[in-house]
């Protein structure tokens, strides 16, 4: 009898404990989810902020709060150097909400996000080339954009990084006796519109991308 009584008490305590725990949140208003998201952005918990955005979008797909929520999360992830997530939210904004007047700003943010990613990504030639192409395309697509001077600044810094990177690659191939590869990269450097005497070669090519 004693053993059965103990098992019964334990079962009751388990049921009471489970019932006292707060269950999953659902069926809330869009302003509720939005305020929760903003709160966790403010305290620096972006994982929870992302979760609350997911709830906002799932339960209120047409909410007028979604565009602002996307931009808030994009900027928050950019501030935390989480550039892939920042670009994800910017892409979502472009697909769903960006009109002709907003596109220059949003696409500028995408270029800036890719550019800043070089602070945490080492020697990524593919990303370097892709960002250069994005900047060139932006100049063609938005020739009157007020963000064009900043895009030009980014593009110049990217070209300088490319110059230094290709110089380092050429030197590396020369040191290990890969003459054909060294010649290819050395020709790229020599054909660049930049001149070596105009550039102070840093200890790391990525130094060119610091101090945005």
Buried b (16+ CB within 10 A) or exposed e, 85-103: bbbbbbebbbeeebeeeee
* Predicted pLDDT at 46: 97
Which pLDDT does position 122 carry in this prediction?
Answer: 52
Tell me which residue of 35, 124, 47, 125 sits closest to 80, measured CA to CA.
Answer: 47
Q: For residue 21, what are the CA distances in angstroms to 14, 16, 18, 32?
A: 11, 9, 5, 20
Distance CA 160, CA 174 (A): 21
For the chain, where are the alpha helices, taking DSSP H only? 2-20, 30-42, 46-59, 66-79, 83-96, 103-116, 125-141, 148-175, 179-190
| 182 vs 170: CA distance, rounded Å | 5
Burial category of 205 from C-beta neighbours within 10 Å (exposed 0-12, middle 13-18, buried 19 and up) = buried
Q: Is residue 131 classed as helix, strand or coil in its secondary structure?
A: helix
Binned average pLDDT, 10 residues per bin, the chain of 212 residues: 48 45 74 97 96 96 96 96 94 94 95 82 74 95 96 89 79 86 80 57 48 42
CA-to-CA distance for 176 and 171, rounded, in angstroms? 9
At 191, list the tokens. 């054909």
State the pTM of this model: 0.73
């Amino acid at each position: 009898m004693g053993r059965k009584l103990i098992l019964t008490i334990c079962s009751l305590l388990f049921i009471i404990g489970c019932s006292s725990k707060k269950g999953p949140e659902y069926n809330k208003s869009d302003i509720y989810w939005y305020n929760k998201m903003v709160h966790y952005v403010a305290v620096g918990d972006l994982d929870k902020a992302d979760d609350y955005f997911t709830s906002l979008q799932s339960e209120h797909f047409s909410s007028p709060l979604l565009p602002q929520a996307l931009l808030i999360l994009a900027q928050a992830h950019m501030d935390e150097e989480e550039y892939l997530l920042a670009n994800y939210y910017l892409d979502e904004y472009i697909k769903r909400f960006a009109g002709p007047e907003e596109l220059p700003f949003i696409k500028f943010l995408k270029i800036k996000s890719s550019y800043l990613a070089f602070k945490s990504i080492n020697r990524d030639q593919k990303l370097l080339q892709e960002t250069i192409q994005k900047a060139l395309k932006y100049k063609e697509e938005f020739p009157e954009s007020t963000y064009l001077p900043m895009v030009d600044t980014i593009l110049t810094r990217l070209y300088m990084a490319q110059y230094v990177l290709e110089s380092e690659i050429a030197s590396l191939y020369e040191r290990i006796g890969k003459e054909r590869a060294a010649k290819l990269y050395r020709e790229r450097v020599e054909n660049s519109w930049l001149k070596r005497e105009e550039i102070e070669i840093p200890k790391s090519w990525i130094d060119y991308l610091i101090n945005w």
